[in-house]
Amino acid sequence: MFHEKNSFLNYNVSCILTLPPYQRQGYGRLLIDFSYLLTRVEKKIGSPEKPLSDLGLISYRSYWKDVLLQYLCNFGGKELSVKDISKEMAIDSYDIVSTLQALGMMKYWKGKHIILKKQDVIDDYKERVKRRGPVYKEIDPECLKWNPFQPPKTPTTSN
């Protein structure tokens, strides 16, 4: 995985490679989750470098779908905005909107995106999680000992 130090396009990762013998074991998802953990620590919002490969797109869409549905399951407030979700999860708003649209949970009305909290979609997700159990490899954020890259300050010239 190559984490972007300084990206003007808010890319948080430029390349994830899982070698064939290790595919379908959760390592790609672990690296995706790790890239977003680093992005949250940096207090930034990120997205993978585009275009994504076919497998990359499948992996990211699956990741976004799961984390957004988990977020919605745990959300207790009344008002929900894409901007707030984006800030809290460090996921680019375009990726959130496209995922919610794919789930049928986003509507464009009077010039605004409206999030529809469809209970049937959330209940299906909860049931899937209950059946599958905790299968994903996870990184404990408390164990991360890392300081974000700080670009060197440019010297000021005094005349």
Q: Is 127 a catalytic residue?
A: no
The end-to-end CA distance of the chain, in Å, is 45
Set 4, 42, 49, 88: catalytic member: 49
Q: Provide φ and ψ at 75, rounded to 5°.
A: -75, 125
Distance between CA atoms of 16 and 3, rounded to whole angstroms?
9
The residue among 2, 24, 27, 60 whose CA lies nearest residue 138 is 27
The residue among 61, 11, 53, 9 whose CA lies nearest residue 36 is 11
> How distant is the alpha carbon of residue 158 from its chain centre?
44
Distance between CA atoms of 57 and 113, rounded to whole angstroms?
23
Element at 15 (helix H, strand E): strand 11-15
Catalytic residue positions, numbered = 49
